[in-house]
Chains A and B, each alone.
Chain A
Amino acid sequence: MDLILEGIKKAFFLIFTLDAEVLGITLLSLKVSGLATLISMVVGISAGTTAALSRFPGRQLVVSLINTGMALPPVVVGLFVTIFLWRNGPLGFLEILYTPTAIILAQAVIATPIVTGITLAAIQNLPANLRLQILSLGATRIQMVWMLVKEARLPLLAAVMAGFGGVISEVGASIMVGGNIRGYSRVLTTATVMETGRGNFDVAIALSVILMLLAFTVNAILTQIQQRERLR
């Protein structure tokens, strides 16, 4: 019990004194997961909308794959991204293995199916005739797609929250492709794993508290936007 209390005390000390290393790790986590979420939004919302609005042979299979992708284990993503970025792998020439960029890439691969899947469901849940109604108002196809995405903005916000939540708390892929290099590619989750392994529970607890606060703050802001929209 003392261990936990000591840990929490130390945690708040580290947070309130703005410990340089902890601050650096926190900012890197935010930056990496934020960028990964941004990439997954661009790719996922486009792909999800396309899949929801088009009819083609094998569509059912594609939808199943997307839904399976939503539960993609991070370590599997980590493994394959590592293989791709390995010195003699297909993308080895990029020389980004064990860099923050590699973590962004891996996290984007994890978040994209989540955003795609929720987008697909959100667009499909819009009233069936809404598409025709928009076209009948004189919209071009591009205007129609844009208006549908705007209509689904609340569930899309949920997609973004789920994507961000998935990657900020993810550890397997980050440690595999980032290498947990101090001051360079160490993020909150990988640092927590390492500190726990070393028995530095106080630091590990501090990092966990920050991680949870971060996840909470980002989601609270998005939830605020979502609920304000709903109540309008």
Chain B
Amino acid sequence: MSPGENPAILLKAEGLQVRRGGALVLDIPVLDIFPDQILALIGPNGAGKSTLLLALACLLKPARGRFSFNGRVIDAGRGDVEYRRRVALVFQEPLLFDATVFDNVAAGLKIRGTGREEIVRTVPAYLERFGIAHLARRSARKLSGGEAQRTSLARAFITKPEIVFLDEPFSSLDPPTREELIGDFEKILRETRTTAVVATHDQTEALRLADRIAVMNGGRIAQIGPVAEVMNRPADGFVASFVGVETVLPGRVLETSDGVFTAAVEGGEIEAVGHVRTGEGILCCIRPEHVTLSTNAPPPGTSARNVFSGRIRTITPLGLFHRVRLDCGFDLTAYVTRQSFETLSLEEGKSVIASFKATAVHVIPRQT
């Protein structure tokens, strides 16, 4: 869904500026958060992701800025308890209280003055949902990293926040734990239709979770848009270097056989390798160095299983090689050496054949 099609804006920030020791560390002219969407903030360390989250969650007083939530102007500081009770924030470290898992998850309800009976009724469902029901009576000090972060997430979700802000919620976990938790988290987000803003420096995480991506740099948003748009058409050099000019195609698995599968993407079909199920939503990522261009069809017997004809849209010289953007029914980017570029006499508008191997496709599962 593009912003134009979605007139409802859940949270709008305008003229947001945060200063630290006189220096401007965050400068966001306008940012819209749409309901039921997940926005990923990506960018290097110090790009302002955490500061933006804190400002949006009204936990930090900006130098200036105006917020409206559901059309109502809110106090951009810590004063607005009512707003703070309608959103939630999850930090990278779980920040649990020295109490049982049950009491930790119940904390937000207790703060809101919820009665004991209702707490006892509500908490178990959330413990169950986040896979920590068996830990209810355990002290929060005795949890593994993954269990602690699950507790922290359950504590945030139990108050049914209208927006959840997450600051690198998975980055301190080891890879298997992280993978499992992201999967569960993604499911819960979609099930509960919770609007979320997730800061991460992990691009794969962003691709998996987000509907929209905002690339941040030096306290500003360098580019914001739907995932495929930001990944395939970086707005500037910084975004391109940060997201790594990869072709990213949202698709759906059509059929699988022996680990090789066919996926429908916009304007074509792609063969790739991976453990996926038929009908599953995925993102296919193809790095430009893996795409081969030729002016005639590849000879029979090639191992490239993906062959597309396309038209050259733009050519950007990058020193030792050229970046060639193609329209194959979908966007595809290829790197071509200067020699090949001359041999093939490539030019904008020319038709070429692009090919890449099934193994060159990096597949990211995605629930949509």
Contact = CB atoms under 8 A, between A and B. Distances in A.
Given A127-B93, A130-B95, A143-B111, A137 B88 contact: yes
A138 B80 CA distance: 9
Nearest to B88: A136
A160 B270 CA distance: 70
A151 B95 CA distance: 11
A129 B167 CA distance: 12
B159 A136 contact: no
A131 to B, nearest CB: 9
Residue of A133, A140, A151, A232 most packed against chain B (CB within 10 A): A133
Nearest to A133: B95
Contacts of A127: 93, 95
Contacts of A136: 57, 59, 84, 87-89, 165
B108 A138 contact: yes
A129 B85 contact: no
Given A143-B111, A151-B98, A232-B139, A135 B93 contact: no
A139 B156 CA distance: 13
A180 to B, nearest CB: 44
A75 interface: no
Contacts of A232: 139
B1 interface: no
Interface string B131-175: 000000001000000000000000110010000010000000000
A156 B93 CA distance: 24
Nearest to A140: B81
Interface in B71-105: 78, 81, 84-85, 87-89, 91, 93, 95, 97-98
Contact of B81 (A138, A151, A154): A138
Interface residues of B, number: 24
Given A130-B95, A132-B54, A137 B155 contact: yes
Interface in B39-90: 54, 57, 59, 78, 81, 84-85, 87-89
Nearest to B92: A129
B26 to A, nearest CB: 16
Helix, strand, loop or mixed for chain A's interface?
Answer: helix
B112 interface: yes
A62 B355 CA distance: 71
Nearest to B59: A132
A72 interface: no
A101 to B, nearest CB: 38
Interface string A49-71: 00000000000000000000000
B107 interface: yes
Contact of B111 (A129, A132, A139): A139
B98 A137 contact: no
Given A138-B111, A138-B112, A143-B111, A132 B89 contact: yes
B168 to A, nearest CB: 12
A141 B89 CA distance: 17
Contacts of A140: 81
Contact of B89 (A133, A143, A147): A133
B57 A137 contact: no
Nearest to A152: B98
Interface string B338-361: 000000000000000000000000
Interface of A: 127, 129-130, 132-133, 135-141, 143, 147, 150-151, 153-154, 229, 232
